[in-house]
Structure 1
Amino acid sequence: MKSAGGLKPQDVLVLLKMVASKDRSWRLVDLAQELGLSLSEVSTSLERSKRARLLDSSKKKINWPALLEFVLHGLKYVYPAEPGPICRGVPTAHSAPPLSKEIVSNDNDHYVWPSGEGTVRGQAIEPLYSSVPEAALKDPALHQLLALVDALRVGRARERELASGELTRRLHDA
């Protein structure tokens, strides 16, 4: 039997970028450039997502029910995260939109992806992939999706519930 080569964190990043892209005619080179990945990384990512049945055989169409199920129920187990030391970075989870509009947190309760480009001090959350902070700063829609995913990975019950509802709505509307 051929090795399945399971999903990698950058695969989730690529899939979420596809979700965030309103223009469904994206190209590999665009995904690579916008996500800080190489062309070969994007190509192999799409292949892994196809094998995982998160993309169709053309690697252009997302299997929405499967992606939603994986994000809501599997991601926090496959790619867990724990809050780390205080640092400067890019807001994520409940500290970033859309949850920051619904959850009031004090200055000591922010979560951030460590980044020199960041403007907020908070507890470090390891991003799904090293290029996440820069990619999120380039694309607000992607930033929101990644922040919602992080709320599932590290959030408390209320944050997870709000993130789950918002992700469900966004993936159904996409």
Structure 2
Amino acid sequence: MKQHSGMRPHDIAILLKIAAKQKESWLMKDLSAELGISASEVSESLNRSVIAGLISPDKKTLMRLAILDFLEHGLRYVYPQQPGALVRGLPTAHSAPPLSDKIMSDQPYVWPYAEGEVRGQAIEPLHPKLPQACLKDNKFYALMALSDAMRVGRAREKKIAMEEFKKRIC
């Protein structure tokens, strides 16, 4: 069995991309192309997730309750984030759907992205190519924005984000 060297931020993006696909079949090369992550790194990521108990050994079946538990209790500690400078970008956390319909805020949070149309406080994405990947897949975008709400949100935002995760992942 391989050694577990710790989870990496893009491991969460890969797991949430699989969750966004729901029952749609996929191959590692599909994930690689859609996320802009090399095929070998997708493979290594899935190996780490198997060892962590977040995906089954067949590397196809998500361990949904384990993922929800990690998102709720671990994500903000393992991949903490503080809002940064004002930049142009793609809305995330409470500034993006599905939370933007439920939470009003004068301070938008964004992933820095040159082609973005919103100016807000910078939140470093879990992977540099995340904005481009999210623009191609609304379900994935929603899950990634919810994960950022767990990383930077207040108690109310986190509670609403977890309710949304449960609707989308379970």
- TM normalised by structure 2 equals 0.96
Q: Which residue of structure 1 lines up, in the alignment, with residue 109 of structure 2?
A: 111
Letter of the aligned partner of 1:91 in structure 2? P
Could you say what secondary structure the match of 1:66 adopts? helix
Structure 2: 5+ residue stretches without partners: none
Q: CA deviation at 1:2?
A: 6.5
Structure 2 Cα separation of the partners of residues 83 and 12 of structure 1: 20
Q: Which residue of structure 1 lines up, in the alignment, with residue 46 of structure 2?
A: 46
Q: Which residue of structure 1 lines up, in the alignment, with residue 6 of structure 2?
A: 6
Structure 1: 5+ residue stretches without partners: none
Could you say what secondary structure the match of 2:22 adopts? coil
Q: Which residue of structure 2 lines up, in the alignment, with residue 141 of structure 1?
A: 139
Q: Comparing 64-73 with 19-28, which one deviates more in the overlay?
A: 19-28
Q: Which residue of structure 2 lines up, in the alignment, with residue 159 of structure 1?
A: 157
CA RMSD of superposed structures (Å): 1.3
Q: CA deviation at 1:3?
A: 3.6
> Any runs of at least 4 consecutive aligned residues in structure 1 with deviations exceeding 3 A, and if so which?
none
Identity %: 53
- Within-5 A mapping of 1:163-174: 163-172=161-170
Asked if residue 129 in structure 1 is aligned to residue 141 in structure 2, the reply is no
Q: Deviations over 1:93-148 (max 9, x none)?
A: 00000000011122xx0000000121100000011111111111111111100011
How many residues align structurally?
A: 170
- Within-5 A mapping of 1:71-90: 71-90=71-90
Structure 2 Cα separation of the partners of residues 58 and 141 of structure 1: 24
- Within-5 A mapping of 1:62-77: 62-77=62-77
Q: Which residue of structure 1 lines up, in the alignment, with residue 17 of structure 2?
A: 17
Q: Deviations over 1:59-115 (max 9, x none)?
A: 110111111101111000000000000000000000000000011122xx0000000
Structure 1 Cα separation of the partners of residues 104 and 6 of structure 2: 37
Letter of the aligned partner of 1:137 in structure 2? L
Structure 2 Cα separation of the partners of residues 94 and 113 of structure 1: 12
Structure 2 Cα separation of the partners of residues 24 and 55 of structure 1: 16
Q: Which residue of structure 1 lines up, in the alignment, with residue 56 of structure 2?
A: 56
Structure 2 Cα separation of the partners of residues 86 and 111 of structure 1: 9
Q: CA deviation at 1:159?
A: 0.9
Structure 1 Cα separation of the partners of residues 19 and 4 of structure 2: 24
